[in-house]
């Protein structure tokens, strides 16, 4: 099996290739830890086949807040799923290049519904009040 490496660089269209684009739309922060998506290839295949967006879980809120490198994060997810490289190879045999697209203005980070619910709770309000007191 060939070694594949994620390269983040501007897109340059090449003659003779068709492209399938994996669009990262946003990051959602959750109060509860979600289990890491292990079958990335299967999830992406379903997304391509059905033409509907889906979610991958794996980045912990703490890592995101500490400035996790997106390329490193995606490489780590891919390494955990050997079928992902096979999927890319299959698509290349069909004449497709797989591209990862990021929003030009950056990736929006939003709170998940469980995070909003927690922040509205008594415990969440105590934490917010504690942060406000520390700022003063």
19-31 pLDDT, tens digit per residue, is: 888 888 887 777 7
Q: What is the pLDDT of residue 15?
A: 82
The whole-number average pLDDT for the span 30-54 is 79
For the chain, give the mean pLDDT: 77
Q: Helix, strand, or coil here: 96?
A: strand
Q: What is the pLDDT of residue 1?
A: 46
pLDDT band at 108 (very low <50, low <70, confident <90, very high): confident
Token pair recorded at residue 73: 């994060």
* Cα 58 from Cα 27, distance rounded (Å): 11
Predicted TM-score (pTM) of this structure: 0.61
Residues facing 96 on adjacent strands? 18
The whole-number average pLDDT for the span 11-20 is 82
């Amino acid at each position: 099996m060939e070694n594949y490496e994620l390269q983040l660089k501007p897109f340059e269209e090449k003659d003779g290739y068709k492209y399938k684009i994996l669009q990262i739309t946003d990051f959602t922060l959750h109060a509860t830890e979600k289990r890491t998506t292990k079958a990335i290839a299967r999830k992406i295949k379903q997304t391509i086949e059905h033409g509907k967006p889906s979610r991958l879980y794996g980045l912990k809120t703490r890592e995101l807040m500490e400035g996790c490198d997106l390329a490193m994060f995606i490489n780590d997810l891919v390494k955990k799923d050997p079928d992902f490289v096979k999927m890319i190879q299959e698509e290349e045999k069909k004449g497709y290049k797989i591209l990862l697209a990021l929003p030009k203005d950056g990736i929006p980070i939003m709170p998940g519904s469980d995070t909003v619910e927690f922040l509205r709770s008594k415990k969440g309000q105590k934490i917010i009040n504690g942060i406000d007191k520390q700022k003063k």
